[in-house]
Structure 1
Amino acid sequence: MFIPQASDWEASIVAAITEELDQLKYLIEDESGSTEKGDIHAQISRVCGLTDLAQNDAVPFAASARLQIRELNEMAMGMIRNTLDLTPVSDEPLQSFEREAAQGLFDAIALNIPQLAQGEARKYAIALSTNAFEELREYMGEHPDFEMMEQLVLVQDYRVMKLAGDNR
């Protein structure tokens, strides 16, 4: 079976994942006392965010690149299983339906980032109520793309949104 070689953009993603994995290993092995559990959790989120790309069939990875990313993911998961107590940062149990809703909203916004980033040229915007955005932040705030997304989404008080009405 012929497996085509990865392109430059695929090799760049694999290289970025490898760098993030090296950073995770550094944080796990750090004995200086300056690394906090939250630092490690954030790094795990970055690694997982990148390796999750291999699970998305819409991203046109060559089979070889997809395999490399999955292998890097397995390395990360093995490292995590062998060295960490992965209790949640928060003691409150997360309700799965709220997390799933936040993930769905996050994914919908992420798919529109190219249009949102073009601002006035595309006249494309997404507005969320302050409450909706805070729930999104609660569940997705540690995602590596959240900070960029935060800059592109209009956040308004619900009462202001209601006063503005339907402007179609």
Structure 2
Amino acid sequence: MVQQDRIWEASLVTAINEEFDQLKYLIEDSSGSTEKGDIQAQISRLCGLTDLSHNQSIPFSPTIRLQLQELNEIAMGMVRSNIQVAPPSEEHLQNFEHEAAQALFDAIALNFHFLAQAELSKHAIALSKEAFDSLKSYLGSHPEFDMLERLVLVQDYRVMKLAGDKR
């Protein structure tokens, strides 16, 4: 009866092995029809299953838990050794920097009330000259940038570093 109760574990291991074989096929496919997204999706499926071994609330037998963890390590080893990660494109980097500048702008704008009443609220913000120049290059034409510019202390990074943490 105990053996019958563990059929679900064997079924899970079989499903994981099938997903593992599919990942191996996609990595080794030289036809050109496999896209990076296909491999990433397969990795997600496989890891979603093998990561179940880390969930202590699922009553795996110790043997099966160890087997799932070993399959996960084998799959990750294949991924690390066979997938070439291309460096990000210049356009991707520009988009990332723009998003970071927008997030910084939004954070300052959301704290406008506190920054405008710095003497009462004891809130302040200082940016290095380089960070501010980056912010300005992406969002300097924003209609509220002039207002934001008055709320931010801009300093040379070396001066900020010398000032240190004065808590």
The normalised TM-score by structure 2 is: 0.49
Higher RCO (Cα < 8 Å, 6 or more apart): 1
Which has a greater percent of helix?
A: 2
The normalised TM-score by structure 1 is: 0.49
